[in-house]
């Protein structure tokens, strides 16, 4: 068993993938709690998908993925803001229109003859392809995101609790929400290389949503969310290593399994037997 567990760690690629997923799990698990508490999962997922043309553009031009993603995510955010303002439709509709357009544009670029191979890695990620430099960059950014979360914890909590009274208590709900969205965007950027454009939302929303099912205590929710993200990430790497499956998809699969397990646990409430009795009576 120990050999079985230790074997992948002897391989540089699997070890780096392991370290990468631990970094991603720590930062996504924490940011994800705020995404779930602020009920902005849909916006977060849309941001992740909307930056696709940026990633493809970076691959075509041969510039770093992170840079392409940054341009892509800023463009997506600005477009959503613009369309929301111009159209009379709801923000939901604006986001859906902008994101499908951008994603379609990305696919069009990706399928063009000039496109380098490896576009698939942009969609589904390539955890086994991370370099030492990638790891250092990811660790640095993750540290900064976690530090900002720590510093603004009380303000994020207060605005999420009731943004309506925020201003009366010296807070500016708009600025705090913008800060959170920026952190979400940065977290997506860190995760997109490993997990890809389609799967990065899984580690951002999945563990936090799972933790939310299991506890109503804030501190416990953060600890659980980060633990689940890291554990499911590591499990995914092992699955990928031994079953030969795609690494990003394996991690996403483990995250979904964790959520389903939590939902199953949650579906057995204390009051269930009593209700069954009253139904049969």
Residue 95 C-beta: closest distance to another protein, Å: 23
Judged by CB under 8 A, the residue of 5, 132, 169, 245 near another protein is 169
Residue 201's φ and ψ, nearest 5 degrees, are -65, -25
**Per rule CB under 8 A, is residue 143 in the interface with another protein?**
no
C-alpha neighbours within 13 Å on the C-beta side of residue 101: 11
Exposure letters 24-43 (e unless 16+ CB within 10 A, then b): bbbbbbbbbbbbbbbebbbb
Burial class for 111, CB neighbours closer than 10 Å (0-12, 13-18, 19+): exposed
Residue with tokens 């074997």: 7
Residue in this structure with the two tokens 């009253």, named with its chain if needed? 278
CA atoms lying within 13 Å on the CB side of residue 199: 27
* Residues within window 192-231 making contact with another protein, judged by CB under 8 A: 215-218, 221
Q: Is 271 in the site for another protein (CB under 8 A)?
A: no
Contact flag: residue 164 with another protein (CB under 8 A): yes
Among 1, 2, 168, 268, binds another protein (CB under 8 A): 168
| 162 touches another protein by CB under 8 A | yes
Tell me if 155 contacts another protein by CB under 8 A.
yes
Q: Applying CB under 8 A, which of residues 62, 170, 244, 273 lies at the interface with another protein?
A: 170
Q: Does residue number 141 form part of the binding site for another protein (CB under 8 A)?
A: no
Of 82 and 265, CB closest to another protein: 265
Total chain residues near another protein (CB under 8 A): 23
> Is 193 in contact with 125 (CB distance < 8 Å)?
yes
- Enter the tokens of residue 119: 């576009």
| From 101-109, 133-141, 169-177, 185-193, span contacting another protein (CB under 8 A) | 169-177
Residues contributing to the site for another protein (CB under 8 A): 37, 150-151, 153-155, 157-158, 160-162, 164-165, 167-171, 215-218, 221
């Amino acid at each position: 068993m120990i050999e079985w567990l230790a074997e992948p760690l002897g391989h540089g690629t699997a070890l780096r993938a392991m370290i990468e997923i631990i970094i991603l799990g720590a930062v996504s698990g924490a940011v994800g709690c705020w995404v779930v508490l602020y009920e902005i999962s849909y916006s977060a997922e849309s941001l992740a998908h909307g930056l696709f043309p940026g990633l493809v553009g970076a691959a075509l031009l041969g510039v770093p993925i992170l840079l392409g993603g940054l341009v892509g995510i800023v463009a997506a955010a600005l477009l959503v803001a613009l369309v929301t303002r111009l159209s009379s439709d709801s923000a939901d509709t604006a986001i859906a229109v902008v994101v499908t357009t951008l994603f379609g544009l990305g696919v069009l670029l990706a399928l063009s003859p000039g496109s380098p191979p490896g576009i698939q890695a942009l969609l589904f990620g390539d955890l086994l392809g991370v370099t030492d430099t990638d790891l250092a960059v990811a660790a640095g950014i993750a540290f900064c995101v976690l530090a900002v979360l720590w510093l603004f914890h009380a303000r994020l909590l207060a605005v999420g609790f009731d943004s309506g009274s925020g201003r009366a208590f010296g807070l500016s709900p708009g600025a705090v929400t913008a800060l959170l969205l920026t952190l979400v965007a940065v977290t997506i950027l860190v995760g997109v290389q490993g997990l890809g454009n389609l799967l990065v939302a899984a580690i951002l929303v999945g563990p936090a949503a799972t933790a939310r099912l299991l506890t109503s205590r804030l501190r416990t929710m953060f600890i659980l969310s980060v633990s689940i993200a890291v554990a499911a990430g590591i499990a995914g790497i092992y699955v990928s290593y031994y079953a030969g499956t795609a690494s990003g998809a394996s991690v996403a699969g483990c995250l979904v399994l964790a959520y389903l397990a939590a939902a199953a646990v949650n579906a057995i409430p204390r009051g269930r037997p009593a209700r069954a009795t009253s139904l049969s009576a």
